[in-house]
Amino acid sequence: MEKVIGADELASGERRSVIVDDIPALAVRVDDTIYLIEDVCSHDGQPLADGPLQDTSITCARHGARFDLETGAAQCMPATKGIRVFDVEIRDGDVWAGLSKTPKPATVPSSDGTPSDSTAAQSDDAADSESDSTAEEEAPQESVGPGGQRVTGTSPSTESDYLEALRQVIDPELFINIVDLGLIYAIEQDEENPRRIKIDMTLTSPACPAGPQLVQQSKMALERLHDVDEAAINMVMSPPWSPERMTDEARDQLGIF
């Protein structure tokens, strides 16, 4: 193993590019857990450093493949295989990482001096039983949906949850998510079946070759929500999309002022 970064250099939700075993890697902190993943998308080599994070998944900003931070498993197309993850330990306030056959993330010890959970992480039994009990308490509705692993939750999803899910879908040519591009026109629950969500969405042009991919990924992103069984995507071309529909951030990203 080698020392890669100080544990207190990363706040929750932050990431840092590092090199481990001469491999480009990404240290990501989610709450008190630090994950280390290979920083190369298995689909076509894009660094994952700029990809959106959701819970313990990271999405490639190029074509939208998503990977589990803990296992490296690919969770959606276009990636068909996972990425490597590294074994992580916290030693005296530093993050150490290396390749291992049984890689695990590490928990940062609390600032009041509570013993590091990294020692617990080194104990398979303790870590397993802890994560099992946590999973039972926090994720009673977890299941596997048609689009891959379900996003866990206990309260009904709201429109902002639907939009957050759709932000995981990235336009493969502009590298901007479809919500910030302004491609989503309407979202509503089916009056007779609240587990069915209806979406009106458009494309930047009627001939956009990414259309089928965006529709499929939008459907999968919504159907991963714990209380959505079906997402019906209705493609509309009127009113036609225009750059004014983009958020300021998206316009900045494309250099449109």
Q: Which of 10, 28, 38, 62 binds ligand FES (CB under 6 A)?
A: 62
Contact in structure between 182 and 221 (CB atoms under 8 Å): no
**15 contributes a contact to ligand FES by CB under 6 A:** no
Q: Which residue's CB is nearer to ligand FES, number 78 or number 145?
A: 78
Chain centroid to CA 148: 12
Structure tokens at 251: 């316009």
Q: Which of residues 79-108 bind ligand FES (CB under 6 A)?
A: 79
Q: Which stretch binds ligand FES (CB under 6 A): 15-23, 38-46, 205-213, 230-238?
A: 38-46
Q: Under the criterion CB under 6 A, does residue 157 sit at the interface with ligand FES?
A: no
Total site size for ligand FES, rule CB under 6 A:
11
Determine which residue in the list 5, 37, 58, 65 makes contact with ligand FES, applying CB under 6 A. 65
Contacts (CB under 6 A) with ligand FES, residues 109-148: none
Residue 215 CA to residue 45 CA, distance in Å, equals 24
Between 76 and 106, whose beta carbon lies closer to ligand FES? 76
Q: Does 29 bind ligand FES (CB under 6 A)?
A: no
Given 46, 118, 168, 217, the residue binding ligand FES (CB under 6 A): 46
Shortest CB 118 distance to ligand FES, Å:
31
Residue 27 · residue 5 · CB < 8 Å:
yes
Q: Closest approach of Cβ 48 to ligand FES, in Å?
A: 8
Q: Which of residues 60 and 151 has its CB atom nearest to ligand FES in the complex?
A: 60
14 versus 44: smaller Cβ distance to ligand FES: 44
15 versus 43: smaller Cβ distance to ligand FES: 43
Q: Which residues here bind ligand FES, judged by CB under 6 A?
A: 41, 43-44, 46, 60, 62-65, 78-79
